[in-house]
Structure 1
């Protein structure tokens, strides 16, 4: 009943229900008299009008026929992290799918972003979600076109777990073009929503839905987002709730990455793959591998030998005494190191002089080109 009466995100209604209790709140809706403390007459009249039209028995029958269950706060399947939303906590959730919501939510990450994403964004979302799924993390998103759909597909392709949080009834897949995808998620994972069976989405419902995605997960990754993207609402909600907030950088000239870049400037964490995400949201010791460029033969030389090698010009030969002066060492030391370098293929002897081999010239150019 209350799920039909109190709109998602209605903190005034949530505060009243939490303080009064569900049974007492339903009983109060059927009584005459002034509105309860904290509720205006207009809001109270709206609640009572909705209560008159509500039919909980019909909702439960429709849910049962669609393989849907209703999960409420205080039960074993309720994810306790949703309580962080305070008075904005959902009255309950309609859940479609066999796995336990509470267990899956404990190890989950949200991957969200633009609907009209680029090929780069879709690729990154798919790769991130697949990598997270392979590491045993549940990927949560909103089931929409673009980044959301790519994230769900990436997790499913990796044989992993994914949850779609809808802004409509779980028995009414939206967008319709994702009906097959959402049905597949329900078969392999979970589809959840605050709204009852048959409810349709509205722009405001998409925005308040995002707070559930943020609260349900350990962290939120934004792949692509313009300045006014709804996915930034999810990221900001995650920040307010103390969750990890991450962004995937894109081209500086891309409007679809402008919102992400602004998010990164506001203390979000920059991530480029699943390993970096897990390093933030995972347990102690789940570290991403160190990043470094390719190792070239010159990198294996000790500093004194490298100084002798660097003393040789690119295209001419030098006698050993000239090499010693340029390297700042003795002639005997320079000669010993030149023979060592010759055995390694870096230099060759030409009469009384020494010169670089082609291998050393190429390696030196690569080394100088590196920042």
Structure 2
């Protein structure tokens, strides 16, 4: 049977130009799988749980083939075991079928290739595993402009989000957080919008770090238009991604759906400045639902631009964030220096601050992070080890657990 009623050569012609860099030449089965993943970015709206269910239960290829064959609700029902799943899919068929046209799906690939986009699926090396935490609401694939390898940096990242109508205070704090996070090896994730998002991206770029922008519409036209140059810079050093294919405009509900991707991609989410009804509160809600660490930057109690942050602190249990170290603590817990700083020299404090509680770091890496000479780092590590504040592992040094912590 011809896959999806299209000749294999035509499928291959569509798929191959959007392969991630370095990907092996796919066989026919892999081409069909990639085509189906791309099709499932076209047929449903972002976050469609019924689409996620059929992909999980049947696989993207089989689910697409059923649609192409015009399977009835009863046919789908025979393929699905759960009665609730059957009802969800029966309701969803009316949403998907109007978009089921081979030319529409082929156009997503051709336009993607024309704008240098790559389709990244779960089978690719740089697929960000955090998206899988969205369950059936996870995207089938994401379209990427830039280097897909930048998505791997999201494993250690922070989302900096907030109001489009940001104040000087909000932009200053965002820049300080972004640059401090980059210095500590974090990537910065945001939504590419005016205000806090843009400030986070710019500061990360200025600090030489990796930043990822998640957009609500197709990547053939960057939105907002005023950030076209900024988003091109993001794509040149990191990447810009979307689950919507080329030609899909950003809309209010797509912005809200986009927010769940920001929360899932990042290791932690920080709302820097937000009014009571800011869309970043929606992002924070997704982060909380996913169990991601959540922080908020307090502002003046007289400022309407910070009422959303104060609400997160009161009602969502968000942690107070004043500087980059506080974001690190959301993931790693308080550093040893929070428990006992007495008796340490300034060099020891610098080395201790550069150590991770989990990831071993070598002397050369610590010298880069601290700006100290290698010999001074070695001497400080020896003193920290004597004080039970640092431990040497086979692959480097780690910060020791605080005494009495376990």
2:40 is equivalent to residue 2 of structure 1? yes
2:120 is equivalent to residue 71 of structure 1? yes
Aligned match of 2:270 = 221
Aligned match of 1:20 = 58
User: Which runs of structure 2 are paired with 1:300-311 in the superposition (5 Å)?
Assistant: none
Distance in 1 of aligned mates of 2:164 and 2:340? 33
Unaligned runs of 5+ in 1: 292-371
RMSD across aligned positions (CA): 2.1
Distance in 2 of aligned mates of 1:193 and 1:286? 39
Match of 2:312 among 259, 263, 267: 263
Residues 1:286 and 1:70: Cα distance change in structure 2 (over 3 Å): farther
Match of 2:323 among 269, 273, 294: 273
Q: Are 2:44 and 2:95, in contact at CA under 8 Å, matched by a contact in 1? A: no
How many angstroms does 1:287 deviate by? Answer: 6.0
Match of 2:97 among 48, 65, 73: 48
2:81 is equivalent to residue 32 of structure 1? no
Aligned match of 2:188 = 139
Distance in 1 of aligned mates of 2:165 and 2:251? 18
How many angstroms does 1:75 deviate by? Answer: 2.6
State the secondary structure of the residue aligned to 2:220. coil
User: Which runs of structure 2 are paired with 1:283-322 in the superposition (5 Å)?
Assistant: 285=335
Aligned match of 1:98 = 147
The 10-residue stretch of structure 1 (178-187 or 122-131) with the greater mean CA deviation from structure 2: 122-131
The 10-residue stretch of structure 1 (192-201 or 63-72) with the greater mean CA deviation from structure 2: 63-72
Match of 2:239 among 180, 190, 193: 190
User: Which runs of structure 2 are paired with 1:77-116 in the superposition (5 Å)?
Assistant: 77-116=126-165
Q: Are 2:42 and 2:108, in contact at CA under 8 Å, matched by a contact in 1? A: no
**Count of equivalent residues:** 292
Deviation per CA, 1:190-211: give whole Å up to 9, x if none.
1010000121100000001000
Aligned match of 2:225 = 176
State the secondary structure of the residue aligned to 1:69. strand
User: Which runs of structure 2 are paired with 1:339-354 in the superposition (5 Å)?
Assistant: none
Deviation per CA, 1:227-277: give whole Å up to 9, x if none.
111101111111111110000000001111011001011311001011111
Deviation per CA, 1:22-62: give whole Å up to 9, x if none.
11111111123422323365531221111126533332222
Q: Are 1:12 and 1:38, in contact at CA under 8 Å, matched by a contact in 2? A: no
Residues 1:46 and 1:228: Cα distance change in structure 2 (over 3 Å): same
Match of 1:251 among 286, 290, 300: 300
State the secondary structure of the residue aligned to 2:275. coil
Residues 1:118 and 1:290: Cα distance change in structure 2 (over 3 Å): farther
Structure possessing the higher radius of gyration over alpha carbons? 1
Distance in 2 of aligned mates of 1:219 and 1:286? 21
Distance in 1 of aligned mates of 2:225 and 2:335? 42
Aligned match of 2:10 = none
Residues 1:114 and 1:95: Cα distance change in structure 2 (over 3 Å): same
Q: Are 1:279 and 1:287, in contact at CA under 8 Å, matched by a contact in 2? A: no
Aligned match of 1:238 = 287
TM (normalized to structure 2)? 0.68
Relative to its length, the structure with more helix (as a share) is 2
How many angstroms does 1:284 deviate by? Answer: 7.6
The 10-residue stretch of structure 1 (111-120 or 36-45) with the greater mean CA deviation from structure 2: 36-45
